[in-house]
Amino acid sequence: MKMITTEIRHDSLKATKSILGSLNAAIVDSLVHGKRHDMRQRLGFLKKRHDGSSSVRPHPEEALTWSEDFNNLMASKCYTVYFLVFPDGQSLFKAFLQREFSEENVEFWLAVEDYKNCRPGKLHAKACKIHNDYVAIQSPKEINLDSATRSQITSKLESPDKTIFDAAQKRVQALMESDAYLRFLQSELYKELLNPDNESNNEDSS
């Protein structure tokens, strides 16, 4: 009986995580997809905070830190409070790039971060997948790498360590910091997150 109860709890937890993950994806998708003129309606999907009450809108103070450093943006991850899902900077940035059909760089960056945290026994399989998905010539999501960096990765693929993608990740991060990251910070989405009161005033006047 105890084993059955444990299994039920485990299945319930998995189902809850799945629901929360889907909800977060829906929130992010509603924010960044579509035309610019309906941004206000899409931002309305994020409930505003009122006197410290729970909300699914990131605090403006948190969003502001995303502009201070690219790593702050990528360190911002989804969290939940009483089943409310708070969209994170990482997901918003990724979805912003998906709208522009240029998400391969951030996906590679995140894949490398995940690779660095995997167990030694899984390094080879994960390294091969990252290589085949992003590094190899004509791969499905090929990233922009110089030939020397690409060759260096390929030569280490048989016995990879956790630093195999470091040079490529630094190059990709530099590309994002000089282009996509700056465009995200100038986007209407990001400006609305920084100034929720402006959104409220616009709604009241409409």
78-135 pLDDT tens trace:
555 444 555 688 989 998 999 888 899 999 999 999 999 999 999 999 999 999 999 9
Looking at the DSSP bridge assignments, the partners of residue 86 are 79
Q: Supply the range of the domain harboring residue 74.
A: 2-92+188-205
pLDDT of res. 17:
44
Please tell me the pTM assigned to this model. 0.70
Contact 89, 72 (CB under 8 A): yes
With a cut of 70, say whether residue 3 has pLDDT above it: no
Confidence of residue 58 (pLDDT cuts 50, 70, 90): confident
Domain check: are 60 and 119 in the same one? no
pLDDT of res. 195:
87
Task: Tell me the C-alpha distance between 23 and 39, whole Å.
Answer: 19
Confidence of residue 36 (pLDDT cuts 50, 70, 90): very low
Domain check: are 85 and 136 in the same one? no
In a domain, 153, yes or no: yes
In a domain, 97, yes or no: no
How many domains would you assign to the chain?
A: 2
State CA 189 to chain mean position distance.
Answer: 15
For residue 93, what are the contacts with CB-CB under 8 A and spacing of at least 6?
73, 74, 106, 180, 181, 184
In a domain, 99, yes or no: no
Instruction: Please state the rounded mean pLDDT for residues 47-72.
Output: 73
Mean pLDDT rounded to a whole number for the chain = 77
